[in-house]
Amino acid sequence: MSCEITVDGLVKRFGQNTVLNGIDMCLQPGERVAIIGPSGTGKSTLLRCLNFLDRPDEGRFTLGDLSVDAASATTRDILAVRRRTGFVFQNYALFANKTARQNIMEGLTVVRGWSRDKAAARADEILAQIGLGDRGDSYPAALSGGQQQRVGIGRAMALDADLMLFDEPTSALDPEWVGEVLDLIRRIADGRQTMLIVTHEMQFAREIADRIIFMDGGKIVEQGPPDQLFGNAKDERTRAFLRRVG
């Protein structure tokens, strides 16, 4: 089976600090990959670079028939990538002055160029799917943290993306809201959506992922199926991390 998504030689520096140091990655269609590792090792930066929220310094990113040189990507290239990727932020990143419906519509009108009527109809479909069919006119301040994150996930779902990127989707939630968000991600995963998930929820990663990637020091140290990585990690850095979080 050929790779649907590849990352070759991705490098990101902030000043003199190299945060990503030559990341190579391949995702098969429908594959769910969880990224784990210590804080500050570049996991979230990797996701942000794949969506060009942070511009990489080196590397190439390929999604199907779209291939982009990260360092020289034009505005058109970046928009093309964003049309095919959905991003779920750890802090929701909803527009406070827009309703739940309008937040979901935003990517459809701005990125996809849909009419407002078409986008609103799609947003209402998504709201029903995420269990918020009656909250379309609610503003973020009137929603719980779990509901806000479900709207954030719905915004990514609406794009029918080739790749969904989840950046610590439960880290900003109070404990009582974590379960509902994880359940929604599980439902999306069951539809064989290709996804990369940065998470600190080890049991969730083990349940949902086809493959686990362990990162440390801006590099991929080790990767493999969940049972292999959690049960028989080869690298001492992986084993030490799992002992700390286990």
Domain segments of the chain as ranges = 5-245
Bridge partners of 214, per DSSP, are 36, 222
Q: Using the predicted structure, report yes or no on whether residue 1 has a pLDDT greater than 50.
A: no
pLDDT-based confidence at residue 2 (cuts at 50, 70, 90)? low
3-state secondary structure of 235: coil
Q: Using the predicted structure, report yes or no on whether residue 56 has a pLDDT greater than 50.
A: yes
Q: Are 225 and 208 in contact (CB under 8 A)?
A: no
- pTM check: above 0.85: yes
3-state secondary structure of 13: strand
Q: Are 20 and 45 in contact (CB under 8 A)?
A: yes
Residue for token digits 């995963």? 189
Q: What is the DSSP string of 192-208?
A: T--EEEE-S-HHHHHHH
**Any idea which architecture 5-245 has in CATH?**
3-Layer(aba) Sandwich (3.40)
Q: At what angle do helices 100-110 and 116-129 cross, to 10 degrees?
A: 130
End-to-end CA distance of the chain: 34
Q: What is the DSSP string of 129-166?
A: HTT-TT-TT--GGGS-HHHHHHHHHHHHHTTT-SEEEE
pLDDT tens-digit readout, 74-126: 999 999 999 999 999 999 999 999 999 999 999 999 888 999 999 999 999 99
Burial class (CB in 10 A: 0-12, 13-18, 19+), 229: buried
Q: Using the predicted structure, report yes or no on whether residue 197 has a pLDDT greater than 70.
A: yes
How far lies 243's CA from each of 34, 103, 201, 202, 231, in Å? 18, 40, 14, 11, 11
Q: Residue 119's closest CA among 132, 130, 129, 106?
A: 106
Q: Using the predicted structure, report yes or no on whether residue 135 has a pLDDT greater than 60.
A: yes
pLDDT-based confidence at residue 128 (cuts at 50, 70, 90)? very high
